[in-house]
Structure 1
Amino acid sequence: MRRLWLVAVVFGSVSAAHAADMPDLPVLRGGFTDGLSKTTQNWDGFYVGGQFGFATTDIDFSRAPKSMTDFMLRNSILQAPVGGWSLLPKNHVQSTGFGAFVGKNWQFYDAVMGVEANYTYLQDVSSTASDSMTRILPGEAGPTGHTYTYVTTLGGGASLKLKDYATFRGRIGWDGGDFMPYAFGGLAIGRAEVSRFATVSYVKHDDYDTTVSVGGIATTTHHQDTIDTGAWSSVEQRTNAFMYGWTAGIGLEYAICGNFLLRGEWEHVGFSDVKNIKVGLNNFRLGAGYKF
């Protein structure tokens, strides 16, 4: 037994001596994994910045006179059919804009979540449309042999200038080191100058036939009498009309020297109707900011 202990002690001493003579390699000290780890940017905190962009806007005027004609023709046989006419076109407008943003991020490992308020001033996003149309509409039931018709003319026009808008959005991104792709969604509020007008007129006809017999020969004559006319007009204008809607989009941020940020993003905004005019825009923009 004493001999076994002596052999173990000798071999242990030899092993320690060889270990002391071995080179000091990083892999043996656990330092090898440091070279494989990525450098992670700290996205957590408040940030602020400015932006410049190019916007394409669709302004749909097709139903702009509807609520005006509904009121003018209320409780009449013409209200429903005239209110369904698409009188005006949809216009496409392009413009530039600039603004600012402020927000705060919270980082959880590689996930970055945040909230942001964003303001954009638009340059010359305005459009105008006007037109008129005439249709013959069936009227109410008349006496036997009589048919009532309305020769109805609808005229109208509208204009809209989108001045600016703000969005309040939440976003989620992925920490890619010095860059962060992100997606966002939220609420939008816009301010516009809106005007519109509508005119409606009709001529009511009574169509019927009369038959006269002369010398045993019956002669039928068609008659069209004008039995009623009507005309109305209405004008509305608002300097500051507020529009409410939603926003969504994607973007990419790049960090320079830790705290300076560059970003590029696409944003879509859809607004609810204002005076029966529908507005939607796509904004492509670049921005720069600073993270505190």
Structure 2
Amino acid sequence: MKKFALALLSAVVFGPPAAQAADLRSFRMPAKTPAVSQPVSNWTGFYIGADVGYGWGSYGASNATGTIVTTNGGSAPYGFNAGSGNANGITAGIQAGYNWQIDQTVLGIEADWLYLDSKVRSGNSAIIVPAFIGGNFSGSTSVRTDWYATFRGRVGYAFGPALLYATGGIALAQTKLSADATGSIVTSITPPVLGPLGSTNASNTAVLVGYAVGWGLEYALGAGWSVKGEYLHMGFGTNGYNLTGSLQSPAGLTGVIATHVDIKPSFDVARVGVNYHF
């Protein structure tokens, strides 16, 4: 009788043995939610940085024409060989931009300003002096670029901590053309004697507008820092320069020399840099 009472109490409190087994089988530990995979680097946000590199400049000169106008009423055209050639130099500067990352695609904008040491100078250039003067000039011309800036868009693909991208946009460059010459004048025909005609120098500086295209690779180091390598090509089309210089002559001949030269500059730049991402 006592055993029957204990069995009945156990059934009332805990339920039948089969039900208890079913309850135990139905109880499971909650499944662990799989971790959502995150990209190693997220490129979205602002960044600033600096870079240094080397630039290859090319200057093509053409259509060099001019006029000599003297105070005694003489006037005639002349021509000369303007400076053309290649000029290489160091480049260094700063940049800033913003990126948007969509999955593994990265879109961005960037602006930069860099110093560029690029200058080419021609050798002696024969300048034909009009017959009414009777003499000649010898001189030289030079073209130099001191800085450039670009405003570009970027589109890239992120894989792991690396970002491979193409870039293109607007480029600006300050380019200066200078010319100087020293002349001689025929002071005697029999026998022929050349005396000092005088000298002139002139320059013209302009900010050119062109295009920039290139590509690069950036690598995230962590803690907001990244390093990059980049190549850019910049072209500025053909641009006209007008030079006006005063003729200063110990022989007493004075006047104005006005010159027009067309210059077609382009640059290729390879550079490395570092960025900090906010």
TM-score bracket for the superposition, by shorter chain length = 0.5 to 0.7
In structure 2, relative to structure 1, the CA distance for the partners of 1:38 and 1:107 (3 Å cut) is closer
Deviation of residue 113 (structure 1)? 0.9
Deviation of residue 164 (structure 1)? 0.5
The answer to whether the 8 A contact 1:241-1:274 is kept is: no
1:119 aligns with 2:108: no
Counterpart in the other structure of 1:108: 102
Counterpart in the other structure of 1:180: 163
The unaligned stretches of length 5 or more in structure 1 are 1-9, 73-77, 136-152, 200-232
Point out the more displaced range, 38-47 or 249-258.
Answer: 38-47
Equivalent residue in structure 2 for 1:162, among 136, 145, 162: 145
Q: How does 1:79-94 map to 2 (within 5 A)?
A: 87-88=81-82, 90-94=84-88
Q: CA RMSD in A?
A: 3.9
In structure 2, relative to structure 1, the CA distance for the partners of 1:285 and 1:186 (3 Å cut) is same
The answer to whether the 8 A contact 2:127-2:139 is kept is: no
Normalising by structure 2, what TM-score?
0.63
Q: How does 1:177-256 map to 2 (within 5 A)?
A: 177-196=160-179, 236-238=202-204, 240-256=205-221
Normalising by structure 1, what TM-score?
0.60
Secondary structure of residue in 1 paired with 2:93: strand
Distance 1:246 1:262 in 2: 25
Secondary structure of residue in 2 paired with 1:168: strand
The answer to whether the 8 A contact 1:260-1:288 is kept is: yes
Q: How does 1:46-85 map to 2 (within 5 A)?
A: 46-60=46-60, 62-63=61-62, 66=64, 68-69=65-66
Secondary structure of residue in 2 paired with 1:39: coil
In structure 2, relative to structure 1, the CA distance for the partners of 1:110 and 1:58 (3 Å cut) is same
Distance 2:127 2:93 in 1: 45
Counterpart in the other structure of 1:279: 265
Counterpart in the other structure of 1:269: 234
Structure 1's consecutive aligned runs of 4 or more residues displaced over 4 angstroms after TM superposition are: 13-16, 130-135, 153-156
1:186-224 deviation digits (Å, cap 9, x = unpaired): 11111123213689xxxxxxxxxxxxxxxxxxxxxxxxx
The answer to whether the 8 A contact 1:56-1:283 is kept is: yes
Distance 1:274 1:184 in 2: 29
Distance 1:182 1:190 in 2: 24
Identity %: 29
Counterpart in the other structure of 1:129: 122
In structure 2, relative to structure 1, the CA distance for the partners of 1:47 and 1:134 (3 Å cut) is closer
In structure 2, relative to structure 1, the CA distance for the partners of 1:259 and 1:127 (3 Å cut) is same
Aligned length: 213
Distance 2:275 2:138 in 1: 50
Counterpart in the other structure of 2:247: none
The answer to whether the 8 A contact 1:38-1:177 is kept is: no
The answer to whether the 8 A contact 1:194-1:237 is kept is: yes
Point out the more displaced range, 268-277 or 183-192.
Answer: 268-277
* Amino acid of the structure 1 residue aligned with 2:208: M
